[in-house]
Structure 1
């Protein structure tokens, strides 16, 4: 049985946040979506050890702390490193992709231009993580 996920979306673009909410609603998924507009806000959310997300969807291009910097912070933190982080970005820069995998990203998804393609990708990502045997620490 698929489980409902607690998702932390770290995204500074309001349109992208609305697009994710619309997609989850359109797919009739009961996942809980929590939003952070930047890495600093996300780190504040992650201080509550009783409410760790099941997955983090992370944009790369953000103010204050870049996505790569945030990913490094998460993966270097023993209490947070187990949380799967999936990059959701428009950047197809090969250097970014390689750097994220070196740090320990769980996935790297390019945001497509067409909404139908976006829905399809998000559906696949969330479907995979909802059947994956996530371990809570």
Structure 2
């Protein structure tokens, strides 16, 4: 069982970032949480191109779909084509209930597609379930 998983949140909305941080706190999640605001920033951080943010392995990514500069699906395409990053676990957390987004995400091997809950209590539950998942799974050292 992997005890320490580094979480990368790729999210452009400040309220959603705060909700994730608050949900981590409410669930007593002590995993390191790194935040980038679009796909370009996330790729730079994961590839070590941003010295201010080096994200150690193992990693799990919480990914929004609709973001500026590089959206979630484009980011997933880049990630899955990168030989050292293609196996990173990615959970989409988005407001998009579009079937085309779901299909595109699963075609790119996401571990799950989660609609952002409308209530904060729902958000806390969703993050708690994810926390249990990544503590049960064995993550590769990428």
TM-score, normalised with respect to structure 1: 0.94
Q: CA deviation at 1:133?
A: 0.7
1:89 aligned partner: 94
Cα RMSD between the aligned structures?
1.5
- Secondary structure of 2:61's counterpart equals strand
1:80 counterpart = 2:79: no
2:112 aligned partner: 107
Return structure 1 stretches of 4+ with deviation > 4 angstroms.
Answer: none
TM-score, normalised with respect to structure 2: 0.90
Q: Give the Cα separation in 1 of the matches to 2:2 and 2:128.
A: 13
2:73 aligned partner: 68
| Structure 1 residues without counterparts, runs of 5 or longer | none
- Secondary structure of 1:23's counterpart equals helix
Considering fraction of residues, name the structure with more helix: 1
Q: Give the Cα separation in 1 of the matches to 2:46 and 2:111.
A: 18
| Structure 2 residues without counterparts, runs of 5 or longer | 49-53
Q: How many residues align?
A: 137
2:7 aligned partner: 7
Q: CA deviation at 1:51?
A: 2.1
